[in-house]
Amino acid sequence: MCGIIGYTGEGDPVMDVLMTGLSGLEYRGYDSAGVAVTDRARSSGDVSLFKREGELSSLEAALPDGSVDGAAGIGHTRWSTHGPPSDANAHPHTDCTGQVAVVHNGIIENFRELREDLESAGHDFESETDTEVVPHLIEDALAAGESPEEAFRTAVARLEGSYAVAAVVAGDETVYAARHESPLVLGVGEAGHFLASDVPAFIEYTDRVIYLDDGEFATVTPDGVSVTDARGNTIETSVETIAWDPEDAGKSGYDHYMLKEIYEQPDAIRGCLRERVAELSGSVEIPELDGISTTIPTVDARDGRPRPIQFVACGTSYHAALYGARLLRDRGVPAQCFIASEYATERVPVSEGTTVVGVTQSGETADTMRALREAGRAGAETLAVTNVVGSSAARECDHVVYIRAGPEIGVAATKTFASQQVALSMLAAALTDGGSQGLVQSLRAIPDGIQRVLDESDAREIAREYVDSDAYFFIGRGYDAPVSLEGALKMKEITYKHAEGFPAGELKHGPLALVTDRTPVFATITDHAEGDVSKTLGNVKEVEARGAPVVAVTDRRDLVEPFADHVLEVPSIGPAQTPILANVQLQLVSYWVANELGRSIDKPRNLAKSVTVE
């Protein structure tokens, strides 16, 4: 959600870097974009500012002919919170003098009080945003004789809420930045230095990064970067090297990132499994959790009772967490799953023996981070399951398991969901019996199983047949239930069609009233539990009696085909693993429906890749 890029240096032209950076952040979702550049002549003139509602192409059209030279610059892709999409509400925002420009992610909770004070002091505002108070606060501090860095610190000290904020001042070659509960990362280059909300913004220029923690400030100059605390004390930082190749973030000939990422799933899962499963011994060993059984025992040594594990997550990650909780329950561990945004308000009991697992692709999801922080304060052990090395979740939790899916650009998660399921399968084994040869064989069969689905799927033909449907239902039981929920979410996200997913047994408790001959039902039916296939087939008969077409996603064609209009077949690789393959069929159906409808598949309306506000 929202994207920040900042740059200063003697290398590439500032405007070129900013526009390249904004392009690299488009996947996060946005409705306007803008840039601000300071004069290389170090004059006291205005900051050059360009911003437009709409896509990046609108901003590009607004730029003057030729390159806009500059000493330092900041750019932003906005996803509206305070005020609708418009040129005025787009970032960057400036002060009354036009000498200070600011970009900001997050929400400033006390902006109304600050704005009222500033307006009373004679400041004029041009937008409806919370962000605009920041440049005016800096303006006041500059007028009081403070240096640009001092003025920036003074302004930030008055902010309440969440923020990643960056500023430039006319006549200065420095970009100033700070973060609190919203991500910022610094890029260390050869002839210039960067800051951004995410690595893809500058990965074309450097793979050397420094991650900022909450409460830290950064100054980025042509000569280097420095990190300090709120009092200005220098913080020693380490430079990490990102393992992403810039080519990994390209489309590689595919029409959409989403389709590319669906087809990347076999390799993503091989990466997730690598050096973590041993086929000969049948064991699962996650190196980053070495010795975890001593810190997260699943059995209380005092009374022999299993210790509770709580999952917190949002959206697609929540569906993965539902899957993970069931895996643990099937192994005798009392595991629960909570929507992260509701976790604190539900007042969920947390004891010293509780482990709270946050599942978050980006490692920056605001609701999940809040839940993890609340759990940590209550005395729980915390563990992050995430894709991003160096993310807030990875740094703040007691333990971390990386899913190793590689960069995912499409807003609708695909390969990260499958990789989360695989990582949680290994986590469940690591926390309990350490795995078995049967489990390891099933896990190793997933990449080839997905490849077979990709090679043989009839999803495109089914999508064409049902593209004009009024709505879509997705049902399943057991391990199929989270996959059905995810199938419905994918359909909603990228087709803008109404879709519902629920455990199959819930069909008769209300949703059946909506079933017609124009509401196809996608029934995921894999053979993972005694009686589940026959029970779900009973639900299939219920919708067929109301005239609804049925598409079965199954590894039991022999049992299911007589009751379905279409069958999307998957290989049978194991009770808990076959549903991972079924999910791929549902991803393909949603993709091809959206493609037939001409939707913006990689950047669906109103959605953001990383949701960094609560």
Rg (CA), the chain: 25
- CB atoms under 10 Å from CB of 347, counted, come to 7
Spot the catalytic one: 51, 415, 492, 609: 609
- The residues, ordered by sequence, that sit 6+ positions from 354 with a Cβ below 8 Å of its Cβ are 307, 308, 309, 310, 375, 379, 380, 381
Tokens 């911003």 correspond to what residue? 51
* Phi, psi (degrees; rounded to nearest 5) at 165: -130, 140
For 194, list phi and psi in degrees, rounded to 5.
Answer: -130, 160
Q: Are 1 and 81 in contact (CB under 8 A)?
A: no
Q: Which amino acid is at 578?
A: T
Residue 163's closest CA among 233, 216, 117? 216
- Catalytic residue, from 2, 272, 314, 397: name it: 2
Which residues have a Cβ under 8 Å from the Cβ of 192 and sit 6 or more positions away?
A: 7, 8, 9, 10, 11, 12, 17, 205, 222
Backbone angles phi, psi at 581, to 5 degrees: -70, -40
Tokens of 374: 């609340």
Geometric angle at alpha carbon 503, from 498 and 509, rounded to 5°? 80
Q: Which helix (H) or strand (E) holds 95?
A: none
Q: Residue 337 catalytic?
A: no
- Spell out a b/e string for 444-462, using b for 16 or more CB atoms within 10 Å of the CB, else e: bbbbebbbbbbeebebeeb
Instruction: Tell me how far apart the alpha carbons of residues 243 and 259 are, in angstroms, rounded to a whole number.
Output: 23
Question: Which amino acid, one-letter code, is at 203?
Answer: I
Angle between helices 578-597 and 480-495 (to 10 degrees): 10
Tell which residue, 70, 280, 88, has the closest CA to residue 173. Answer: 70
Longest C-alpha distance within the chain, in Å? 81
Q: How many CB atoms lie within 10 A of CB 34?
A: 25
Around Cβ 64, how many Cβ atoms within 10 Å? Answer: 9
Nearest to 151 by CA among 127, 126, 123, 170: 170
SS3 of residue 3 by DSSP: strand
Burial class (CB in 10 A: 0-12, 13-18, 19+), 120: exposed
Distance CA(501)–CA(516), nearest Å, equals 16
Residue count (the chain): 614
Q: Could you tell me which of 262, 285, 326, 268 has the C-alpha nearest to residue 503?
A: 326
Cα–Cα distance, 130 to 137 (Å, whole number): 12
609 a catalytic residue: yes
CA distance 323 to 329: 10
* Edge-to-edge strand list for the sheet holding 355-360: 335-339, 309-313, 355-360, 381-386, 399-402
Helix locations, 330-397, DSSP H: 340-343, 366-377, 392-396
Cis? peptide before 349, omega within 30° of 0: no
Instruction: Report, as residue numbers or ranges, the catalytic residues.
Output: 2, 609
